[in-house]
Amino acid sequence: MLLKIETEYYIYDSLEDLSEIQRSLLLRAKQNTHHAYAPYSKFYVGAAILTDDGKVIDGSNHENAAYPMCLCAEQVAIANFHQHRTDQKIKSIAISARTADKLIDSPVPPCGACRQILLEVAEKLKADYEVILQGETGKIFVIPSVKALLPIQFDSSNL
């Protein structure tokens, strides 16, 4: 038997195509790139989480001279979400990036490790959520299901 996995996402041309809520979350993620500490890669990532009650929770990447200790923006945002001790669910996360070297004109998808972390929180909350991606400019991806980003995932049910 052959099974096929499909991932659905929307592609938009500009910020105008988003809802006001999505647009302001993405703009917040872009702002958060300015709070990144990324002196080594000079790749500044910002994330912003929107909870069901309208709270916005921020994250940005934090690097270290000991390279493997780098924290991705998504991981910082999720840790920050937990720190808020909220019982709210996550509605969306927006992620953006910029670099000193060139204009990033395509969406920057979360790395594999971040997908694992983003998924864990969806499992914990028992609620899927949306992922919004854009570089500094260019197309915007809206992925309605974070779970779709990591099919056949390892989770607590495997332990």
Name the minimum Å distance from CB 16 to ligand THU: 26
Q: What share of the chain is helix, strand, coil (3-state, %, to 5)?
A: 35, 25, 40
Starting at the earlier edge strand, list the strands of the sheet with 140-143: 10-12, 140-143, 130-134, 90-99, 43-51, 56-60
150 binds ligand THU (CB under 6 A): no
Query: Toward ligand THU, which CB reaches closer, 74 or 130?
Result: 74
Residue from 114, 119, 140, 149 in contact with ligand THU (CB under 6 A): 114
Name the minimum Å distance from CB 135 to ligand THU: 13
Contact flags string 14-43 toward ligand THU, x per CB under 6 A: ------------------------x--x-x
Q: How far apart, in whole angstroms, are the C-alpha atoms of residue 59 and residue 52?
A: 18
CA dihedral 106, 45, 57, 63 (to 10 degrees): 160
149 binds ligand THU (CB under 6 A): no
Q: Is 74 a catalytic residue?
A: yes
- Region for residue 123 given its phi and psi (left: phi exceeds 0; alpha: psi -120 to 50; beta: otherwise): alpha
Binding site for ligand THU (CB under 6 A): 38, 41, 43, 45, 61, 63, 70, 72-74, 110-111, 114
Catalytic positions, please? 74
